[in-house]
Structure 1
């Protein structure tokens, strides 16, 4: 067979015992390098569904791997965004109350360490705004201009979060240095200590919630925001040290702890920036690539796996892959192999919602490379 074959799936998969399966097929001449031309047409494939299990099944699914290794698949892209939105607004409410309590204590105590922690908590709460906008945009359907949809808005939100963390670090540093140059006694020391504990409790709860949901739906921006909140919790505990120093009569304890808080914020800034940078640059865990290749090689009719690419679109993955099939296979046979290959990928790769599979014929002795005409388009 000298004709190429491509097959694309747009849909969603959850648990293998609880999913809907939709297929849209596209056929045309293409290759593993991403070149393609020719005709395209769509037609429906099979659809099947099973009655979902109750909440107990869902919780079990999250807590331990399934025997088919699909423990961290999503119910649907839309449900993922809804879970992200819930995580944002719940954590916004918790952090908002936490910051309000701390702000009242700042006014009566004059603690610069608590001020830095309060500002950082406020900034952390407000990061829910760009992330919320990103999740709303991510629900919009693809258009002829934005053919992949709007999922990459999450990456822009991640950049906004990183900039917010950087700004809060700069403010905390400036406030601490100013207090070092102009030391002042701390008032209402017990209230400062209590506010520090409130800050730690609120931030740690939010951190665990955001990180758990972010990892579950594959949102790097939400995970980065959770790491941000976790550092806020530890900086709140550091405020206890400033209160202890002030109780012992050491006025410089407050600004010194403020500088320590700045250093902690800088560390989380580094981690969050690295996570968001990787996502913007289309980085994926190499283990996912190995997993995808292994699943493809198990598909009947696939002789070899060629170029395989994975990329994140928001908190969902897309795949493009070329597989080698029997050169004497008919177009229908090659198409069936491509469907099976895509199906295997959807079950093997967590959070994968779309795959483009291209079938290449196995070379015959003396046969020219069918992609030779495209060689001059190859990039260095």
Structure 2
């Protein structure tokens, strides 16, 4: 089995549009959450949202390349170009080597809605536009990026709800360690628009703490009342160690383990056994004990049941080690399909700079989680190995373990 490393990272996030600005936000505990006024017009119960401007790709991509990209695809392009740049991979390299893409995406709402609006209004499907089908397919990001970047390796979209991009990285690890590919571009993209969020709001899943948006997302806090939807895109370049060393590429971290499981119960309510199984499987794959993990980036989205059950699973595995835990979703909100990849990047930045980002808005735990070592403020400490959880609807669970590279 070959060793697998991360040689590049890029991000387009509510807390920063590149790695450096994101690292600064993580350290200072800056929130990217605000109020989306359009949601009030639509009758949303909660107008809370991660806030992110749309990038301008004119001059970066041709019109033909732009026409098939939905907004989350634009985010993904920005994140991917940053990742390729710091991995020392250019377009000439991509044309002459077999590079794959595994990208997490689980919806593309706006193009579907716009196409239906045209059909209803004009009664003429020829007016929908040639780019609509490529924007609306679930595989839109991997499809578009593979063409723009001239990729010739594996080309798949991973659709696993809010664990999508974590699974993408985990599956890349398996393919590369098994010798099937040398380099795979991995990540996740999430649209932020109101149109994609109405059904979530209808479930009552969102926080309604709208008077103070920065205090609304409260992972593990006793007063949490729901998640805050968010999005953007995050990309990592996953590569065999041999390939990275041969290229003289920077090595940001080594993927040590990938764990996964399914809860096998309720479609939207998580349990304890599924997340615990994913944690245990990741540790086993890495050949590690719980005491080898320096920090856990929790999935914790700020929902009452989800945080409680993940916390119980973490206590069963890490309770005796008093491992520091925080959820960066206190700052970013829940980045959904993007979250697994972005939280690996957040963890890599913490590991590089020697700190644990704060679990924002944490004042007191549930009684059942009193022994969980939640980090409420920025903690400076050396991190050699980090673990990141991502869970999703349908009971899909993914856990990744990443360490500093050691020869």
TM-score range, shorter chain: under 0.3
Q: TM-score, normalised by structure 1?
A: 0.24
* TM-score relative to the length of structure 2: 0.23
Structure with the bigger percentage of strand: 2
